[in-house]
Structure 1
Amino acid sequence: MKKNLFVKLSILLALLLFLAGCGNSESSPDDQTLKIGSMEGLQSEVLDVAVEKLEEQGYTVEIVTFSDYQAPNTALEENSLDANIFQHTPFLDSYNRDKGTDFVSAGAAFLNPMAIYSENYLSIDEVQDGDLFALPNDPTNMGRALLVLEATGLIEIEEGVDNPTTDDIIENSKNLEFIELEPAQVTASLEDVDFAAINSNYAVDFGLNPKEDSIFTESIDSPYTVQIVTTQELNDSQKISDLVAAYQNDAVVDAMDELSNGTLLPGWK
């Protein structure tokens, strides 16, 4: 009888070990779910295309949309999101510094390009000595505009300055003059200046397409390319890797082209 009891216990133990092994070999339900934060509107519409790819792989995906620029990171910090897609690197760095978080970029998403427009010239190479350049007067966009202008080769900014002003220009071979305007007024100034740096949202509102109508467009190497942001803990997970792969594919590029009128460019190509 003791022998039979020992055999039964041995069989039961072996069965429990087998079931435990099977449980460890399978993904937990959480590994197949994704909650992604996005700004409402166009950005979430493009994200829908990536979600389709993820769902084909067996993921259950929820897009949570926001209308302000603080809530998506708050949600990520509270672990109610796995990732968000709305912020560029300077914004991310500033948030981490101010809030004590350690969010990281898992990969590039898209660029809302700042571009240079002109009613006088068809090419940035045509800019003349003493021309007047309009740029936004708020600190972030002014610095961004000057970095875009530096990329044309027309000016040089002091090395190491991340958010420059006109005082940081150390080389201005064309003796360009500068006028600082409210961001919404820069587009309206095109008739009165030689060329101007304009954010894509203002450009489109004015009927301009950054890809087709500008004489120079910000490169995707810009630090202002929006990132797929997640936590340190999830950054090496399979589901975040799959999210990046699903976003960085040709179907998403096609959606950007079709839906955005040039205001979204793929940030990884």
Structure 2
Amino acid sequence: MKNWLQLLLVFALVLLLAACGGQEDSAEENAENDNTEQTSETTDQEGASEENTTLTVGASNVPHAEILEFATDLLAEEGIDLQIETFNDYVIPNQALSEEEIDANYFQHIPYLEGQIEEHGYDFVNAGGVHIEPIGVYSQEYGSLDELPDGAEVLMSSSVADHGRILMMLEEEGLITLDEEVDGVNATIEDIVENPKNLEFTANIEPAMLLQAYQNGEGDAVLINSNFAIDNGLDPQEDSITLESGEDNPYVNIIAVRSGDENNEEIQTLLEVLRSDEVKTFIEEEYEGAVLPVSSDAETSDDQ
């Protein structure tokens, strides 16, 4: 009887040890599997990060940075991690691009870029256009250009690159006539040959300060770029007394890069995304005509 009891106890002990051993093996196997999965996930994440290219673009707050922000997810799908650096003036973005602090900038139109290249010797090119920001005429006192009195003071940007644009706009509205022998884009106040209302032009105000001049009631009419107007709560469509036409407008806002970078894959992808139907729809719906998207055949560096 004792022998049978001893055999049963030994058998039970063997089963117990086998069960414990099996649990330990299972636990070790599960731990190994967990480690393998975590390692795999980490490798995948590192691989995804390594595959994506970081692209740093300098931009004005409105609308440029807002458009880029909308495009961020679209660019991520194309393997580009977009970093946006915002600037509040028209000088530093080109300095930052020249000093290789950023890969591209998006804030200026073609005549301004050409003027900057001539003035500072920048080795930049226009990689392609994205949108147009019509200039609006604003007045605290008058509801239309026809109401402007004789001798009215017109405040305009100190940026020479905008003078021809503004004067062509006023000529289209019938307020002045420019010398026919002068290319309108390069026209200056001295090129006005007819001025029936004897308008007086003040052109020494920084672009960002025109909005303040308007709010302070300075001048009878103030010409303000849409980006500054929108950034300060004005609706160009509703608040301006007239708005520049976007048709055949040479003042398209562009992506500027250092010479040689215009054909880089990430720059071309950036342009493709910014000209995509998704981004065009965003611009149209967000700005309701105050910012106008351009087509993919907009002017590029080859046109300069």
TM-score scaled by structure 1? Answer: 0.68
Give the structure 1 partner of residue 131 of structure 2: 110
More displaced, 253-262 or 81-90? Answer: 253-262
Give the structure 2 partner of residue 63 of structure 1: 84
Structure 1 residues 137 and 69: alpha-carbon distance in aligned structure 2, compared to 1, 3 A threshold = closer
Aligned residues: 235
Q: Unpaired segments of 5 or more residues in structure 1?
A: 1-28
Q: Which amino acid aligns with 1:211?
A: Q
Does the CA-based 8 Å contact 2:58-2:105 persist in structure 1? yes
1:113-132 pair list within 5 angstroms: 113-117=134-138, 120-121=142-143, 130=150, 132=152
Q: Does 1:229 align with 2:250?
A: no
Q: Does 1:135 align with 2:163?
A: no
1:143-182 pair list within 5 angstroms: 143-158=164-179, 159-160=182-183, 162-172=185-195, 175-181=196-202
TM-score scaled by structure 2? Answer: 0.62
Does the CA-based 8 Å contact 2:62-2:230 persist in structure 1? no
Q: Unpaired segments of 5 or more residues in structure 2?
A: 1-49, 299-304
In 1, Cα distance between the equivalents of 2:254 and 2:222? 26
Does the CA-based 8 Å contact 2:164-2:184 persist in structure 1? no
% identity of equivalent residues? 34
Q: Does 1:217 align with 2:243?
A: yes
Structure 1 residues 66 and 30: alpha-carbon distance in aligned structure 2, compared to 1, 3 A threshold = farther
In 2, Cα distance between the equivalents of 1:233 and 1:77? 13
Q: 1:243 offset after TM fit, Å? A: 0.8
In 1, Cα distance between the equivalents of 2:62 and 2:240? 24
In 1, Cα distance between the equivalents of 2:120 and 2:283? 32
Which of these residues, 90, 102, 119, is aligned with residue 111 of structure 2? 90
Please say which structure displays the higher CA radius of gyration.
2
Root mean square deviation, CA, Å: 3.6
Structure 1 residues 167 and 94: alpha-carbon distance in aligned structure 2, compared to 1, 3 A threshold = closer
Does the CA-based 8 Å contact 1:109-1:226 persist in structure 2? yes
- Residues 188-242 of structure 1 show CA distances to partners (whole Å, capped at 9, x for unaligned) of 548x84x553343664588642123334322344444321111231212332221
In 2, Cα distance between the equivalents of 1:225 and 1:178? 28
In 2, Cα distance between the equivalents of 1:235 and 1:88? 16
Does the CA-based 8 Å contact 2:151-2:200 persist in structure 1? no
- Residues 27-62 of structure 1 show CA distances to partners (whole Å, capped at 9, x for unaligned) of xx7994422222346531221112221111222322
More displaced, 130-139 or 108-117? Answer: 130-139
Which of these residues, 54, 67, 73, is aligned with residue 94 of structure 2? 73
Larger relative helix fraction: 2
Structure 1 residues 88 and 262: alpha-carbon distance in aligned structure 2, compared to 1, 3 A threshold = same
Q: Does 1:54 align with 2:51?
A: no
